[in-house]
Amino acid sequence: MTFIEFKKLLLDAEITLPKFCALIKVSDKNIQSYKKKGSVPNAIAVIAACFAEFQKNGIEYKPMIEHLKLTKKTKTGGFAKKKTNSKERNSKKRGKA
């Protein structure tokens, strides 16, 4: 699905992009990055299509999603050094790793 088709579905679902992101606990920047790519992942497309269909049929979908108590994922990667215990550090210094 193209990003434009995705945005049209959000309009049909009567939800803004920031509110969509907040509801499904996904970073707004993450979804915006798909604009450059031109398409959205299948899972995001399915969610938007379902929300639009629910809205069309008068089904309150927002309370259902909120009831799932989704949590926003946080990044744990990066360039931080892994913590090692003192024995591992000492053995690496002596060449016993």
- Number of separate domains in the chain: 1
Q: State the pLDDT at residue 59.
A: 96
State how far the Cα of 17 lies from the Cα of 22, in Å rounded to an integer: 9
Query: Is the Cβ–Cβ distance between 31 and 20 less than 8 Å?
Result: yes
pLDDT of residue 40: 97
CB atoms under 10 Å from CB of 40, counted, come to: 22
Task: Name the CA dihedral angle for 37, 30, 19, 71, rounded to a multiple of 10 degrees.
Answer: 140
Rg of the chain over all Cα atoms, to the nearest angstrom: 21
Residue 73 confidence (pLDDT) = 84
pLDDT under 70: residue ranges of the chain:
77-97
* Residue 62 structural domain: 3-93
Q: Which long-range contacts (CB under 8 A, 24 or more apart) does 79-86 make?
A: none
Model pTM score? 0.73
Question: How confident is the model at residue 3, as a pLDDT?
Answer: 96
Least Cα distance to 65 among 19, 34, 28 occurs for: 19
